[in-house]
A = this chain, B = another copy of it.
Amino acid sequence: MTADISGVPPSPRRGRPGYDQETVLRRAIDLFNRQGYDGTSMGDLAKELGFTKSAIYHHVPSKSHLLEQALDEALDGLAHALAAARAESGVTANERLRHAVRGSVMVLVDHLPAVTLLLRVRGNSEVESQALERRRHIDDALAEMVEAAVAEGALRNDLPPAMISRLLFGMVNSLVEWVRPDGRYDAEALADMVTTVAFDGLTR
């Protein structure tokens, strides 16, 4: 945070080499997803990293700071994808919505651990509550896009638009429950399948 102001140091490294913030964060997010944030102690994380608990605090100020960085990563990605879809001009509202869905899937796959963590947040602490509110804004904007596509006549109007939005993005978000970076499906293929099923349905 404050250290960034001084800029990137010209010398590559000094003193004894070791872990960096980023590695600690990535491992922490993985553990949080496996055991839950509250179910993961800093001792657990230390064991995972192979050194003592106090060493963690050499890299990171607090447990909640790790959570905050992870949630910001996910929220920034989703907000960016949403903004890109909304900014498109010269296309129908329905096409913008499809791009928003596609963009959401891409971010979800690209930042899978962080987004997974975000979708499990319950608003227990101040950090979680703020993340929840940012997420609500994103969801509201997506619901607006659905509404526009319905008003345009592209989507079915026998269901409330809010319901459509919830089912659609409920399906998208459920990807975090089983998608793994195996290479079984890449983000593109996944986005295609989700949009196909959502817009055209399961029936042959």
The answer to whether A166 has its CB under 8 Å from any CB of chain B is yes
Interface string of A188-200 (1 = CB under 8 A from B): 0000011011111
Q: Which residues of B contact A194 (CB under 8 A)?
A: 167
Contact yes or no, B201 A200, CB < 8 A = yes
Is the C-beta of A43 less than 8 angstroms from some C-beta in chain B? Answer: no
Convert A23-44 into 0s and 1s, putting 1 for each residue whose CB lies closer than 8 angstroms to a CB of B: 0000000000011101100000
Assess whether A84 is interfacial by the CB under 8 Å rule: no
User: How many chain copies?
Assistant: 2
- Per-residue contact bits, chain A 105-126, to B (CB 8 Å; 1 contact, 0 not): 0000000000000001010100
Asked if A201 contacts B204 (CB within 8 A), the reply is no
Residues of B within 8 A of A173 (CB): 170, 174
Give the distance in Å from the alpha carbon of A105 to the alpha carbon of B89 in the complex: 39
- Asked if A203 is at the interface (CB within 8 A of a chain B CB), the reply is yes
Complex: chain B residue closest to A176, CB-CB? B170
**A1 CB within 8 Å of chain B:** no
Per-position binary interface string of chain A over residues 168-193, scored 1 when its CB falls under 8 Å from any chain B CB and 0 otherwise: 11110111011000000000000001
A159-B196, A197-B201 given; name 16 further pairs at CB < 8 Å: A36-B36, A36-B122, A39-B122, A153-B204, A154-B203, A164-B202, A166-B178, A167-B197, A168-B202, A170-B171, A170-B175, A171-B171, A174-B174, A197-B198, A199-B201, A201-B202
By a beta-carbon cutoff of 8 Å, the part of chain A in contact with chain B is: 34-36, 38-39, 120, 122, 124, 153-159, 163-164, 166-171, 173-175, 177-178, 193-194, 196-204
